Amino acid sequence: MATQHSRSAARIMMAPAVFVLLVWMLVPLTMTLYFSFKKYLPLRGGDLGWVGFDNYVRFVTSSAFWPAVQTTLVIVGGVLLITVVLGILLALLLDQPMWGQGVVRILVIAPFFVMPTVSALVWKNMFMDPVNGLFAHLWRFFGAEPVSWLSDASLASIIMIVSWQWLPFATLILLTAIQSLDSEQLEAAEMDGAPPLKRFYHIILPHMSRAITIVILIQTIFLLAIFAEIFVTTGGAFGTRTLTYLIYQRVLESQNVGLGSAGGVYAIILANIVALFLMRIVGKNLDA
């Protein structure tokens, strides 16, 4: 893109794509903003006029809001912790030369290709069902009382399901990071007298720090929006109502579009704050 001419030609050629993307994004966004300032109850009178910031205040002050925020944070935090820790361990393991490496790597990545709805249903019915689930059989085999996972340990169950889905992503990114480490650095550390654990702590972990940050940020954006897993398992009951789920309930179950839209705007702001950090870190990565 050296000359003035080629630059303007490039702009013209990019214009249709940019236009489509803008419309694609801007239309829903403006509609959400538009509804968030209205009292709009489709089945109870329809559009009841402008209400200013009423919806925003009501959404935050409702008794369901703070528990939902807390649930969201617990799920996001729990999944991040599990996927990052297990991801590092798995990546270390997969980096070792071993028999059948190719097949094992594909198996590890596999869960990522399963749709969230499907995997949640599989977990719910095949593993966590208190009567017929595999876990129930296992518990009974050891003479224990089967746990009704989704009602008694609902939050933990959902964290488990979502972690299972996101572990491959974390593992894959962390594995590529480990593989990019110069093996001479590890050998130098070995000669410098660092035992394996210290080599991990002083050499491997700092080398992976950027990859870990990227995993955390990308996952956070997606985890803030998890929905299907909750919808098909607990339906938001037993303390598993996240912010996303709360918005869904406001719009579709209570048929209050204005209130739901206000929640949606909060969610957009939250996701953008995370995205901002992500851009800066990824950008820095590209500069270096």
Partner 1 sequence: MGRIQLKQVTKKFGDVEVIPPLDLTIEDGEFAVFVGPSGCGKSTLLRLIAGLEDITTGQIEIDGTDATNVPPAKRGLAMVFQSYALYPHMSVRKNIAFPLRMAKMEQAEIDKRVEAAASVLNLTDYLDRRPGQLSGGQRQRVAIGRAIVREPAAFLFDEPLSNLDAALRVGMRMEISELHEKLATTMIYVTHDQVEAMTMADKIVVLQAGVIEQVGSPLELYRAPRNLFVAGFIGSPKMNFIEGPEAAKHDAHTIGVRPEHIAVSDSEGLWSGVVGVSEHLGSDTFFHVHDTGLAETITVRADGEVGFRHGDRIHLTPRADVIHRFDAQGLRIA
Q: Name the one residue in this structure whose structure tokens are 């089945």.
A: 43
The span from the first CA to the last CA of the chain, in angstroms, equals 22
Give 261: exposed, middle or buried? Use CB within 10 Å, 0-12, 13-18, 19+: buried
The site for partner 1, by CB under 8 A, has a size of: 18
State which residue, 42 or 196, has the beta carbon closest to partner 1.
Answer: 196
Minimum Å gap between C-beta 284 and partner 1 is 14
Q: Name the one residue in this structure whose structure tokens are 């607990």.
A: 234
Give CA–CA dist 255/267, Å, rounded.
19
Encoded amino acid at 134, one letter: L
Interface mask toward partner 1 for 225-254; x: CB under 8 A: ------------------------------
Taken in order 223, 229, 234, 235, the sign of the CA dihedral is: positive
State which residue, 54 or 190, has the beta carbon closest to partner 1.
Answer: 190
Interface mask toward partner 1 for 157-186; x: CB under 8 A: -------------------------x-xx-
Q: Name the one residue in this structure whose structure tokens are 């299907």.
A: 228
Give 7: exposed, middle or buried? Use CB within 10 Å, 0-12, 13-18, 19+: exposed
Q: Which stretch binds partner 1 (CB under 8 A): 51-59, 154-162, 188-196, 228-236?
A: 188-196
Interface mask toward partner 1 for 190-219; x: CB under 8 A: xxxxxx--x---xx--xx-x----------
Minimum Å gap between C-beta 101 and partner 1 is 17
44, 145, 159 from 125: Cα distances, Å? 37, 18, 16
**Three-class SS of residue 192?**
coil
Minimum Å gap between C-beta 140 and partner 1 is 49
State which residue, 43 or 98, has the beta carbon closest to partner 1.
Answer: 98
State which residue, 100 or 195, has the beta carbon closest to partner 1.
Answer: 195
In the complex, which residues of this chain contact partner 1 (CB under 8 A)? 182, 184-185, 187-195, 198, 202-203, 206-207, 209
